[in-house]
Amino acid sequence: MNMTSILKHLLIVVLCLSSTSLATEPPRGAISSNLYAFNTLGWTFPIPERWRLRTKEEIARVRNLGLEALEKSMSEEIPNVETPLLYLQHEARSHNRFTSDVVAYDGKGGAEYKKEQQKGFDSLLQVYKTLQMEMSEERSTTTIDGVVFATQLVKLYAPDRRRVLLTGMNFDALINGASFSMGYTADNEEDRAAIHSAVMKSKFQKQ
């Protein structure tokens, strides 16, 4: 699998689970009336209430930690070529995060890209497994504004599996010749529903 694709998927988990300080700074793209737009990809995303932007410093810190950990585990240097887009965090609940990235993709679409998606999800699942917690995983597809996304839903449970401690969901698609991913983690159903609704309200301008 393309190494940058693996890194892109692993960074979703690292960025969602790492702790950060509080601050604000605009992300790549533009925001108007709580609507984020990244024109290069033709993507717009409605930012939910009480979700704030993560700063460049926050993003760089956890991205570097994730890259170092991956390089150590694979015993090789990995180029960091993906472009970070919108990174959010809930104002009051630090485990509730949203990330999005885009990577230039020069391979073929169709079945080949679907295999890359699943390998990326396999790598991401291994990261979750290192937490050594009760968990479940489901993979499927969902269509958002006409774009078909491969999805991965992961739930972390209390030891007796009676309570969900954290829900993580990841979305991946080939859009306008670029590999685009977004994902979130949430530790309660209200915030999960809010960020999931925002994801499903995304719009994409096809080229």
Tell me the pLDDT tens digit for each residue of 37-67. Answer: 999 889 999 999 999 988 777 776 666 555 5
Give the global pTM: 0.81
Q: Are 37 and 26 in contact (CB under 8 A)?
A: no
- The rounded Cα 103 to chain-centroid distance in angstroms is 13
Domain layout of the chain by residue ranges: 3-204
| Domain 3-204 grouped into CATH 1.25.40.10 | no
More confident residue, 125 or 2: 125
pLDDT of the residue at 202? 98
pLDDT band at 23 (very low <50, low <70, confident <90, very high): very low
Percent share of the chain, pLDDT over 70: 75
pLDDT of the residue at 2? 44
Tell me the pLDDT tens digit for each residue of 79-109. Answer: 444 578 899 999 998 789 998 988 888 777 7
Tell me the pLDDT tens digit for each residue of 110-121. Answer: 788 898 889 888
Tell me the pLDDT tens digit for each residue of 149-207. Answer: 999 999 999 889 999 988 999 999 999 888 999 999 999 999 999 999 999 999 998 76
pLDDT band at 78 (very low <50, low <70, confident <90, very high): very low
pLDDT band at 21 (very low <50, low <70, confident <90, very high): very low
Average pLDDT of the chain, as a whole number: 80
